[in-house]
Structure 1
Amino acid sequence: MKSKVFSGEQSLKKLAEIQGTKACIVSDQMMEKLGYLGQVVDLLQSGGISTSVYTGVKPDPDVSIVAEALQVYWESGADVLLALGGGSVIDTAKGVLYFARQYAQEKDAPFVNPSFVAIPSTSGTGSEVTDFSVITADGDKIVIVDNFIAPDLAILDSTLTKQLPNKVVVDTGMDVLTHALEAYVSTKATDFTDALAEKAVQLVFAHLETLYHDPADAEARDRVQNASCMAGMAFTNAGLGIIHSMSHAFGGTFHIAHGRVNSLLLEAVMEYNANLGGKAIDRVCERYARLASLLHLPARTAREGTVSLIQAIGKLKRSIGIENGIRELGVNQDAFDEALSRMVRTAMVDRCTPTNPRQPTAEELEQIYRKSF
């Protein structure tokens, strides 16, 4: 794994030890409003590093936002690129790094490879340790996968997540769970990714509901943030699956929080992966049953363990206020039907689909979308 990780409250102070002369900070207005951006600037300057700042990142960043941030980066002459914020901010900074190198290669121009630091303000994407970036272009979510864009340093300071709204806690927490579950049954899963995914699942089940009801709980904040990073490590090595493929397509169309969409697709995709409606797929059921056992759920057989895990996920979702279906998010039936074919086509060719444990047909993806609606 490329990224070095510092974690724990007050780990932000590690910034004072970073080597460099100029830093370009990619962030958003919320980080500025909450005062975290100012803290980061002060810490960098105390270490002799000057700063340039871009705070124009919006949720689901598109190529125009990446282009604006890229311009600030170029003009800064930075040898440190720092992302401060949630997944959208870190994805934008990754886009800056990716396209800066691509432009230099195309123009045969010199390129200074900056130190890349990621400081997440949410506990969900795991983007601080992954080589994935999701950027919107012409209404479609484009997935960039390149080890070059994985951050060199990730700083996990849970004090930055203290003021997250409950909705964001839920969305990002369920994203963590989805990352871990998909990495665990991926066709590229290994002993190493399994260990990370298993621990992430256990931490989410142990602490997400607590964090939802008591955002001030410091231990729950730390543990969910650690789970996010572990799940990120797992999926950046093992890959993901069709929950993410379908969520990318849906989110690019209806602009609903990624983690929320994941959570509404989760059970239907797990049932599909295990083929619970027909001849169960042994490998997948055995994997889900292993997780059920770790969570002390009934798992005398692989099928029972799979069903227990799916039911436990449903119970967790209800305890943290997640809707019963996509319809409850306010998505119009006619608009959904009109977009369905396009979403299915997009999901079929998504970068996450090949590592799903069961390869879907377009008709099967359509059935899952409709079941989740």
Structure 2
Amino acid sequence: MNTFKIKPVVYFDTDSIKYLNNLKEKKSLIITDPFMVKAGFINKVTDIFKNNNVEYKVFSGIRPDPPVEVVAEGVKEMISFKPDVIVALGGGSSIDATKSILAFTMKILKNNESGYKRPLFIAIPTTSGTGSEVTSFSIITTGNKKVSLIDENLIPDVAILDASFVKTVPGRITADTGIDVLTHGIEAYVSNKASDFSDALAEKSMKIVIKYLPEVYKNGDNVEAREKLHNASCMAGMAFTNASLGINHSMAHILGGTFHIPHGRANAILLPYVIRYNANLESGECTKTALRYRDISKFLGLPSSTVKEGVISLICAVNVILGLTNTPKNLKEAGIDRQEFVSKLELMAEVALEDRCTPTSPRIPSKEELITLFKEAYGD
């Protein structure tokens, strides 16, 4: 029996942050990163809380690729303060960390039979990329390894998509996160758990990224394009939280954990190589996955008179996006040292093979095939 679930209530468009005026809860923990505090973005939240006499506390210790130690600090804050609402403000790292903080807090307090009830969970993304505000995924780091937590209880109750939080995001981050959205859409569409429902959301998100990402990268002041990308990120999140992802993310997780490449950039570099691998045109067979890639090319308006042409067109389109956004086309261009890369290649392949995104990949690789894919993505 197949299922499709959309849990959060989504408030979108500029000034949707005003939803916070409706909160009945009066004790809030805001979980964010130092930049959100320094840049004053947090004031958009705290000013509303002050006006409505909401008691609040700020935990601003979130770092990129949040390590388990930061999650532990957040858990201490949660247990001490016991809020009845938590607000995750920031990019994917802040929202993912909040999910893990909430999960571990509830487990600890449940074991202690404290009677503390799960707080209302509100996510306010400040980048247009991860879709974490509507997903059951949380990625945290332990050592050099990124660990995926997947549980429906991690999904926020409310998502606020206010484009005013993303209108000043730098071009480089806009590109990395935007291509991450494209990867989410593509992987959800070819996943072995894809459905008519996830397809619809994945398709729309891909169309938006292809149309608006180059424009936003070139002109960040385009408010309409910003709003479109913000919505696309959320839609792609809804698609992949139901259909899951594939080896593009499995490889990106360990690549980012090992070499600290931004997640979206790692996905972007890997994407053309993974599409080629999954399509498996060399086999001489017309695979289901190749047909799905051809379908993507069709609805994106790319040349696709044959399956092979459709697959190649999609790969070319991705490479064009990489070029337009000045994204490295291989890992060598991204600055990874060849000797260090080779020394960690086998371990990275082993970790990627065990990643929780791998089972839903349309083509399940061997360890040797993953090693080959990593090598191809490194470049000459």
User: Does TM, normalized by the shorter one, top 0.5?
Assistant: yes
Q: Which of residues 58, 63, 72 in structure 1 aligns to 2:68? A: 63
1:198 is displaced (CA, Å) by: 0.2
Pairs within 5 Å for 1:1-373: 1-373=6-378
Could you say what secondary structure the match of 2:124 adopts? strand
Residue 280 of structure 1 contacts residue 303 of structure 1 at CA under 8 Å; is this kept in 2?
Answer: no
Distance (Å, rounded) in 2 between the aligned partners of 1:47 and 1:130:
29
1:13 is displaced (CA, Å) by: 1.0
Amino acid at match of 1:209: P
Residue 282 of structure 1 contacts residue 302 of structure 1 at CA under 8 Å; is this kept in 2?
Answer: no
Deviations 1:42-70 (A, max 9, x none): 11232332101011111000011111111
Could you say what secondary structure the match of 1:117 adopts? strand
Deviations 1:71-124 (A, max 9, x none): 112221200011000000001100111101221233344331100000000000
| Range with bigger deviation, 104-113 or 161-170 | 104-113
Could you say what secondary structure the match of 1:368 adopts? helix
In the TM superposition, structure 1's runs of 4+ consecutive aligned residues that sit over 6 Å from their partners are none
Residue 297 of structure 2 contacts residue 304 of structure 2 at CA under 8 Å; is this kept in 1?
Answer: yes
TM-score between the two structures when normalised by the length of structure 2: 0.96
1:212 is displaced (CA, Å) by: 0.2
Residue 319 of structure 2 contacts residue 329 of structure 2 at CA under 8 Å; is this kept in 1?
Answer: no
1:281 is displaced (CA, Å) by: 4.3
Q: Unmatched 5+ residue regions in structure 2?
A: 1-5
Could you say what secondary structure the match of 1:125 adopts? coil
Q: Unmatched 5+ residue regions in structure 1?
A: none
| Range with bigger deviation, 125-134 or 44-53 | 44-53
**Taking every aligned residue pair, what percent have the same amino acid on both sides?**
43
TM-score between the two structures when normalised by the length of structure 1: 0.98
Deviations 1:243-299 (A, max 9, x none): 000011111111110000000100100001000222244211111111111111111
Distance (Å, rounded) in 2 between the aligned partners of 1:280 and 1:86:
41
| Matched pairs, number | 373
RMSD: 1.0
Deviations 1:145-180 (A, max 9, x none): 010010000000111011211110011001000001
